[in-house]
């Protein structure tokens, strides 16, 4: 009986669909779909060229176990990015001094904790004015003049 699609061809098609799914999902699956899809494609081609479904299944199983046991952790380590937290939020409430004048239309510079920061304010601030940090937008401190 002639089959329209053989089991090895199903493996190739399923593998290609997994690779396509990875493209649609993005990196959230951590390349698992691409690698398992690639295993299915390779195993499917081996099954088609050798005519052995048993060899195809053994190869797919062995490669999948090898990937899950060894390769998955190594790939996860390579694609996982470690982000360092800068703890910039500790600047909120800190005091500083205006280094370059700040106007409502133009950002200036303030010195907080021995570092110069870009700053904006809703009022005009002149050099050497004492300020306090009320918030942060990106890399710009939102400051206001300290009342005496």
Overall residue count recorded for the chain in this entry:
148
Q: What is the pLDDT of residue 29?
A: 66
Q: What is the pLDDT of residue 81?
A: 67
What is the value of pTM for the model shown?
A: 0.51
Domain residue limits, the chain: 7-79, 88-145
Q: What is the pLDDT of residue 92?
A: 87
Tokens 């048993």 -> residue: 54
Q: What is the pLDDT of residue 132?
A: 95
Residues with pLDDT less than 70, the chain: 1-3, 27-30, 80-86, 148
CATH 1.10.490.10 matches 88-145: no
pLDDT tens figures, 13-39: 999 998 898 888 876 666 788 888 999
Q: What is the pLDDT of residue 99?
A: 95
- What span, in angstroms and rounded, lies between the C-alpha atoms of 38 and 54? 18
For residue 142, give both structure tokens.
């939102």
How remote is the C-alpha of 30 from its chain's centroid?
Answer: 11
At residue 30, φ and ψ (nearest 5 deg) are 65, 35
- What span, in angstroms and rounded, lies between the C-alpha atoms of 95 and 132? 4
Instruction: Please enumerate in sequence order all residues whose Cβ is within 8 A of that of 146, keeping only pairs 6 or more positions apart, or say none.
Output: 95, 129, 130, 131, 132
Q: What is the pLDDT of residue 32?
A: 82
């Amino acid at each position: 009986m002639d089959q329209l699609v053989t089991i090895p061809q199903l493996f190739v098609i399923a593998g290609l669909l997994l690779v396509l799914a990875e493209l649609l999902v993005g990196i959230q699956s951590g390349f698992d779909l691409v690698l398992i899809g690639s295993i299915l494609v390779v195993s499917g081609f081996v099954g088609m060229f050798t005519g052995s479904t048993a060899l195809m299944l053994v190869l797919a199983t062995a490669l999948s176990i090898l990937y899950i046991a060894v390769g998955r952790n190594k790939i996860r380590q390579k694609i996982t990015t470690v982000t360092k937290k800068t703890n910039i939020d500790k600047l909120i409430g800190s005091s500083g001094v205006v280094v370059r004048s700040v106007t409502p239309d133009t950002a200036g510079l303030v010195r907080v904790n021995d570092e110069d920061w870009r700053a904006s304010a809703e009022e005009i601030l002149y050099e050497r004015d004492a300020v306090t940090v009320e918030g942060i937008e990106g890399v710009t401190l939102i400051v206001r003049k300290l009342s005496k």
